[in-house]
């Protein structure tokens, strides 16, 4: 790989605008500050959302949250709640939120080109009365993520069209897919545990510890 020419890095918005230009009026005016009926319908049909957070120093992280469609609860036009299901206890997103509440969300609906983007401020709640209504298989989340909505807008579908994400005919075969077990075995330097043993452990967790 050739060495990066740092003199070609763009250093200001003015430089960016000179290269890319400005959005049209439709794009400029599409941002709303409340969850209207269209946003609510989108969230109600979404089984997958991505959370973008950053710690107090600005180091960023993106993490998926998924469940049955409508797993994110809309409280009203300004607040939504995301249940925190069982995971690996790294709690990257939660640790970021308690030090820096700014959050970005991206909601996907299978087969739909467009996505819904929401920006706002997030808080970690342990309100069991609230979380009890988000239980699955009698498992109540220990905590949830409350988001105070500041911006909502539809993102155009060009990325989905270019990626052909929803076209099964473009998907790689099972043999071509990366092996999570082999990656973990090498990245975690799991001495004494083979990739096959890690695969069994992963499958057991997926089958018995989703909630």
Query: Does residue 198 sit within a domain?
Result: yes
**Cα dihedral value 119, 84, 114, 43, nearest 10:** -90
The rounded distance, in Å, linking the Cα atoms of 82 and 146 is 7
The rounded distance, in Å, linking the Cα atoms of 122 and 53 is 9
Tell whether 30 and 52 lie within a shared domain. yes
- Cβ pair 119, 104 in contact under 8 A: yes
Tell whether 123 and 195 lie within a shared domain. no
Looking at residues 56-65, what average pLDDT do you find? 97
Tell me what percent of the residues of the chain surpass a pLDDT of 70.
Answer: 100
| pLDDT tens digit sequence for 19-48 | 999 999 999 999 999 999 999 999 999 999
What is the domain range of residue 183? 172-208
Give the confidence band of 59 by pLDDT, cuts at 50, 70, 90.
very high
| Distances from the Cα of 60 to the Cα of 53, 166, 179, angstroms | 6, 27, 25
Tell whether 118 and 185 lie within a shared domain. no
Tell whether 67 and 41 lie within a shared domain. yes
Q: Report the side by side order of strands in the sheet with 115-125.
A: 60-66, 48-54, 102-108, 115-125, 144-155, 79-83, 73-74
The rounded distance, in Å, linking the Cα atoms of 79 and 146 is 7
Closest CA to 145 of 105, 109, 115: 105
Give the confidence band of 93 by pLDDT, cuts at 50, 70, 90.
very high
Question: Where residue 88 sits, what CATH number does that domain have?
Answer: 2.30.110.10
Query: Does residue 33 sit within a domain?
Result: yes
Mean pLDDT across the chain = 95
CA angle 135, 138, 143 (to 5 degrees): 40
In a 3-state reduction of DSSP, which class is residue 10?
coil
Six-digit token string for 134: 């988000």
Tell me what percent of the residues of the chain surpass a pLDDT of 90.
Answer: 92
Q: What is the pTM of this model?
A: 0.94
Six-digit token string for 108: 């996907």
DSSP conformational letter for 120: E
The rounded distance, in Å, linking the Cα atoms of 55 and 133 is 29
The rounded distance, in Å, linking the Cα atoms of 136 and 83 is 10
Looking at residues 154-177, what average pLDDT do you find? 96
The rounded distance, in Å, linking the Cα atoms of 27 and 16 is 17
In a 3-state reduction of DSSP, which class is residue 63?
strand
Query: Does residue 4 sit within a domain?
Result: no
Query: Does residue 58 sit within a domain?
Result: yes
| pLDDT tens digit sequence for 182-203 | 999 999 887 778 999 999 999 9
Looking at residues 121-136, what average pLDDT do you find? 97
The rounded distance, in Å, linking the Cα atoms of 101 and 53 is 8
Looking at residues 97-122, what average pLDDT do you find? 98
pLDDT, position 1:
60
Number of domains in the chain: 2
Query: Does residue 101 sit within a domain?
Result: yes
pLDDT, position 106:
98
């Amino acid at each position: 790989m050739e060495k990066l020419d740092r003199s070609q890095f763009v250093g200001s918005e003015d430089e960016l605008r000179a290269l890319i230009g400005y959005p049209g009026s439709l794009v400029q005016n599409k941002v709303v500050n409340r969850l209207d009926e269209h946003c609510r319908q989108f969230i109600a049909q979404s089984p997958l959302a991505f959370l973008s957070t950053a710690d107090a120093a600005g180091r960023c992280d993106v993490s998926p949250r998924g469940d049955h469609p409508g797993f994110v609860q809309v409280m009203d036009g300004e607040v939504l709640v995301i249940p925190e299901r069982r995971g690996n206890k790294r709690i990257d997103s939660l640790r970021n939120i308690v030090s820096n509440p700014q959050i970005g969300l991206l909601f996907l609906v299978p087969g739909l080109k467009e996505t819904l983007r929401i920006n706002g401020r997030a808080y970690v709640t342990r309100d069991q009365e609230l979380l009890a209504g988000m239980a699955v298989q009698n498992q109540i989340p220990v905590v949830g993520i409350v988001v105070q909505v500041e911006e909502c807008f539809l993102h155009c579908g060009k990325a989905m069209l270019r990626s052909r994400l929803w076209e099964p005919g473009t998907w790689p075969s099972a043999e071509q897919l990366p092996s999570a077990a082999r990656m973990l075995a090498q990245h975690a330097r799991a001495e004494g545990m083979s990739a096959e043993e890690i695969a069994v452990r992963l499958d057991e967790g997926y089958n018995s510890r989703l909630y």
